[in-house]
Amino acid sequence: MDLLNLTTTEGIKFKDLKEAVDKVNVEIIEKQDIDKIIKTINEDSRKNVLSLGMKLEKAFQKHINEINRVKKLYDFDKSYGMGLMVAGVDEVGRGPLAGPIVAAAVILDINVDLSDIILYINDSKVLNEKKREELSIIIKEKALSYSIKLCTNEEIDTQGIAYCNNKVFKDACESLTIKPNLVLSDGYLIKGFDIDNKSVIKGDAHSASIACASIIAKVYRDNLMKEYHKKYPEYDFYNNAGYGTKNHIEAIKKHGITPIHRESFLKNIDYIG
């Protein structure tokens, strides 16, 4: 059913109308077309049909709200100066008991039209796994440059987590194929860094480039920990990503540690040495 060419809903079954409305992609349809469809639906006297018009209107408004939300993230990055090549950098895995700390740096084209912004980018922790995976692919395709770097658990044990946190930030930024004029880092300034750097508190909720870095770093690390799960299934890395869940700690006490555990993080846990 072509809703755009529909002039009346008279004689059309609710089931068929609902199926057609459910197929409408509000992300690609123009507002005037949405308004036309809703106008036609609202001329129907059936309550269940009228509810379809309300549903379509709410879905489109939700889409507009998302555009406006993400536009603010892009505008935040642009606010540091027109023409600047801005990179965002963020890390994941600072707190787990096992696995590496991972950082990603991303340079976006922040001067794109609204139709080309990456919708749904956000702090990776507030997104579900499926959405993160989808966005990670889109970000890598649309980014002008991106880089992912890590420090292993051995480096964390010998150098300390603070040193490794700073190192992966630096490494990720310095491995970009385009040198940025400015780096926006989540949470704190990067030490020993020769590129202009601004720290942004809760940056993945304010900056488009930091949000994108947060997403691809988390997807990379989560997938890495899923691979480790295949090798060490007793520790449930597939679900806990190395964090100190109850099941993970119980597995450490029962089975001891693996080569990817951070011994410096386990000093208060009695385990098989």
Examine the pLDDT at 60 and tell me if it is beyond 90.
yes
Q: Residue 152: what pLDDT?
A: 98
Q: Residue 237: what pLDDT?
A: 98
Whether 12 is in a domain gets the answer: yes
Per the listing, tokens 């068929």 go with 16
Q: Does 131 share its domain with 206?
A: yes
- Work out the pLDDT band at 138, boundaries 50, 70, 90: very high
Last residue of a domain, which of 59, 78, 97?
78
Q: Give residue 27's domain range.
A: 3-78
Whether 21 is in a domain gets the answer: yes
Q: How many domains does the chain have?
A: 2
Positions at the binding site for a divalent metal cation: 90-91, 186
Q: How far apart are CA 73 and CA 19, in angstroms?
A: 35
Examine the pLDDT at 114 and tell me if it is beyond 80.
yes
Amino acid identity of 272? I
Q: Does 47 share its domain with 129?
A: no
CATH number at residue 119: 3.30.420.10
241: left (phi over 0), alpha (psi -120 to 50) or beta: left
Q: What is the full DSSP assignment across 121-151?
A: ---GGGS-HHHHHHHHHHHHHH-SEEEEEEE
Model confidence pLDDT, tens digit, residues 212-269: 999 999 999 999 999 999 999 999 999 999 999 999 999 999 999 999 999 999 998 8
Q: How far apart are CA 259 and CA 156, in angstroms?
A: 13
CA angle 200, 202, 203 (to 5 degrees): 50
Model confidence pLDDT, tens digit, residues 165-192: 999 999 999 999 999 999 999 999 999 9
Q: How far apart are CA 217 and CA 102, in angstroms?
A: 6
Whether 236 is in a domain gets the answer: no
Q: Does 21 share its domain with 135?
A: no
pTM over 0.85, yes/no? yes
Q: Does 135 share its domain with 195?
A: yes
Q: Does 108 share its domain with 172?
A: yes
Q: Residue 253: what pLDDT?
A: 94
Q: Residue 2: what pLDDT?
A: 87
- Work out the pLDDT band at 271, boundaries 50, 70, 90: confident
Contact (Cβ atoms closer than 8 angstroms) between residue 78 and residue 35:
no
Contact (Cβ atoms closer than 8 angstroms) between residue 241 and residue 225:
yes
- What average pLDDT does this structure show over 75-93? 95
Q: Residue 6: what pLDDT?
A: 87
Q: Does 7 share its domain with 60?
A: yes
Positions at the binding site: 90-91, 186
Q: Residue 273: what pLDDT?
A: 66
CA 47, 51, 53, 57 dihedral sign is positive
Whether 150 is in a domain gets the answer: yes
Examine the pLDDT at 76 and tell me if it is beyond 80.
yes
Q: Does 45 share its domain with 142?
A: no
Last residue of a domain, which of 219, 237, 266?
219
